[in-house]
Amino acid sequence: MSWTDERVETLKKMWGDGQSASQIAKELGGVTRNAVIGKVHRLGLSNRATPSGGAKATAEKKATKPAAAPKPKAETPKPTSIKPAADDAPEPPMSAARRAIIPAGQPLPPQPSLNEISPEALAKVNEVEKTAKRLSLMELTEKTCKWPVGDPATDDFWFCGLNVQQGKPYCEAHVGVAFQPMSSRRDRRR
Number of compact structural domains in the chain: 2
Confidence (pLDDT) at 171: 92
In a domain, 82, yes or no: no
Pick the last residue of a domain from 19, 41, 60. Answer: 60
pTM over 0.75: no
Confidence (pLDDT) at 124: 83
Pick the last residue of a domain from 60, 77, 92. Answer: 60
Is 123 in a helix, a strand, or coil? helix
Pick the last residue of a domain from 37, 60, 83. Answer: 60
In a domain, 155, yes or no: yes
In a domain, 27, yes or no: yes
Q: Which residues are CB-contacts of 60 (< 8 A; sequence separation ≥ 6)?
A: none
In a domain, 161, yes or no: yes
Stretches in the chain below the pLDDT threshold 70: 1, 48-102, 105-106, 108-117, 180-190
In a domain, 88, yes or no: no
Is 78 in a helix, a strand, or coil? coil
Burial of 168: CB neighbours in 10 Å, binned 0-12, 13-18, 19+: middle
Amino acid at 17: D
Confidence (pLDDT) at 97: 47
In a domain, 19, yes or no: yes
Confidence (pLDDT) at 73: 57
Q: Whole domain around residue 16: which residue ranges? A: 5-60
In a domain, 89, yes or no: no
In a domain, 22, yes or no: yes
Asked if 144 and 162 touch (Cβ cutoff 8 Å), the reply is: yes
Summarize pLDDT for 98-139 with one digit per residue, the tens: 556 667 766 766 554 545 667 777 788 888 888 889 999 999
Confidence (pLDDT) at 50: 52
